Amino acid sequence: MAFASQLNQFPCKNLLVNRPNSNFTSRPSLPLNSIGIVGKSIGKQGISAGIPQPVFWVRAVTDDDEWGSEKEETSGEDSAVAVAEEPKEPTETEKLKKALVDSFYGTDRGLKASSETRAEIVELITQLEAKNPTAAPTEALTLLNGKWILAYTSFAGLFPLLSRGTLPLVKVEEISQTIDSQNFTVQNSVQFAGPLATTSISTNAKFEVRSPKRVQIKFEEGIIGTPQLTDSIVIPENAEFLGQKIDLTPFKGLITSVQDTASSVAKTISSQPPFKFSINNKNAESWLLTTYLDEELRISRGEAGSVFVLIKEGSSLLTS
């Protein structure tokens, strides 16, 4: 956009002074008839003698000035030219993280991982640990802070829970760890989903920093969450059992009745507060060693060499 200096009430500026020969004497220019009119002064003697005279160009400039608008438009065209940037090449660490997350596919957080897949995961974890950007994770509490979703573990203690052997018709939706670095608390939570409701079991603990990479965790309280009612079950027309299809149409009335009863019970339970209980066991302690930490990925090692890979909630790695 063109801007003009304010001189009294009329903005003016000299655009061009052309002095072809310093020996010529300038003559006063003719007065302007109106704003925006260009005046010229050419000596008669110079014309008759064939000698060029100095020429003065004077122009009054307003906000709607024609030249100013052209300049502004030209400037706008120049500024509108976008330079296409080449895609950023992922770093070696980013490639390793993507490969690690891809290797979790089909493993059910490690429960169904084959020996070959486990070996591949261990190799990728080792390479990432060698590139750990946070040398002292316990001194970078802002990075530790927040909710972390478990993506993979080799901890056998979680496998019975993941296998659904102890909880028929119930599956594990999510296993997470939430760290509050200001209050030095950590909450481990498991969310379950059943036919009619979802619920969770959590443990609250305090943690102490024992080294630049290690924290000691002491569990204090357990919480059984209040079941939350889910959508009604859609009853299929038939079901397959032992290789045979069974027509469920005659049983729809009975199934619907059972479903309504269960739904009523779930609603009653949902109105109750969560059940909390204290953990007074002196052995209810553990430690974790954080071997890799950045804004979206955390790798920790526990007792007996178990490994945990967690992804920060909201990270694109969870959807990759």
| pLDDT higher than threshold 70 for residue 254 | no
Average pLDDT over residues 274-283: 84
Q: Give me the chain's average pLDDT, please.
A: 76
| pLDDT higher than threshold 90 for residue 223 | yes
d(CA 183, CA 24): 87
Residue-level pLDDT at 160: 80
More confident residue, 99 or 70: 99
Could you read off the pLDDT of 130-162 as tens digits, one per residue? 999 999 999 998 999 999 999 999 998 888 877
| pLDDT higher than threshold 80 for residue 273 | yes
Residue-level pLDDT at 188: 95
Average pLDDT over residues 255-262: 66
Which residue's structure tokens are 């296998």? 163
More confident residue, 48 or 183: 183
Question: Which range among 75-79, 107-111, 140-144, 272-276 shows the weakest confidence by mean pLDDT?
Answer: 75-79
* Cβ(267)–Cβ(288) below 8 Å: no
| Domain assignments of the chain as residue spans, ordered by start | 12-79, 92-226+273-318
Prediction pTM value: 0.64
More confident residue, 141 or 234: 141
Confidence class for position 70, pLDDT limits 50, 70, 90: very low
* Region 92-226+273-318: CATH code: 2.40.128.280
User: Which residue, 59, 50, 60, is CA-closest to 8?
Assistant: 60
